[in-house]
Amino acid sequence: MLAILPLLLVLVLPVTVLGILYVLRRKSSDTGAVVAFTRIVAWIGVVLIGGSVLVGTAAAIVNGESTLQVPVEPYWPEFPAVSDVTPDHGDTVRSEITTVTVTATNLGAATRGLLAAGSLFSGLAVIAVLAAVIALCSKLLAGKPFSNSLLRSGRLAACALALGTLIGQTLTGIGTYRAGEETLRVDGYAMTGDQVFSGLSPWPVPAFSINYEFAPLFMALAILVVVELVNAGMAMARQNEQLRAETDGLV
């Protein structure tokens, strides 16, 4: 899925730029054009992200080629026979490799299942938010922006974004670690010549690490706040209408 993101950006950016230029040329009071443009961009996002998720999931399931960023124990190649390095960087520089790029096929079924499930959960979380945006735009264009169904869809989208991202990152992290174990872990080796390595292995050793990104969680919280604000506004509007009706009845 990550390998397809540059292509998605190349396809989305021209459409986005053209849409922004179109909206800027419209009148400031013409909100319909802005809403319609937003809905089109959301649909494009659903199609592109959904397609990339399906491709990545299918590639993992059918045992296709997978390219992963595998966390490893801090590592740096040692070359005992090297001397008189030019230029001299001094003694304050410490270099470490903590991630390696692994392109592998024939991974285990459990590893491929974890990677596919992680990609699927992460992609569906984003699609859920885009679906909520499309629903809101449709209701705005229909003149019915506030409804109980919209509130439910907003809450579901926030929960899907938070839980889907968390589950997807966890499954992807576990699957990546298993892929590192299958491709990098070596139980023993024999050296030739006079080379001596101070570490456990002359090459990177896989490490268990899950990279959690909290930006989607903050976005989910922001969506929940907006939904609750809309809910409070709707309740106040109903109370005002009830008070106005009671006042008119007394008069």
DSSP string covering 77-138: ---TT--S-SS---SS----EEEEEEEE-S--HHHHHHHHHHHHHHHHHHHHHHHHHHHHHH
What mean pLDDT is predicted for residues 211-219?
83
Domain extent for 147: 3-81+95-184+203-249
Let me know if residue 229 belongs to a domain: yes
**pLDDT tens string 170-206:** 999 998 999 888 888 877 767 666 666 666 677 788 8
More confident residue, 209 or 186: 209
CA distance 102 to 67: 6
152 lies in some domain? yes
Residue 194 within a domain? no
Residue 64 resides in a domain: yes
Q: Is the predicted pLDDT of residue 122 greater than 90, yes or no? A: no
Q: What pTM was computed for the model?
A: 0.71
Query: pLDDT tens, 145-178?
Result: 666 777 787 888 888 888 988 999 999 999 899 9
Query: What residues does 202 pair with on adjacent strands?
Result: none
Has residue 87 been placed in a domain?
Answer: no
pLDDT tens-digit readout, 9-35: 444 444 455 445 555 555 544 556 777
User: For the chain, how many structural domains are there in total?
Assistant: 1
Q: Is residue 189 part of a domain?
A: no
For residue 178, tell me if it sits in a domain: yes
CB-CB contact of 213 with 234 (8 Å) = no
Hey, CA dihedral for 111, 112, 118, 119, is it positive or negative? positive
pLDDT score for 171: 92
Give 242 or 209, the one with higher predicted confidence: 209
Instruction: Kindly state whether residue 88 falls inside one of the protein's structural domains.
Output: no
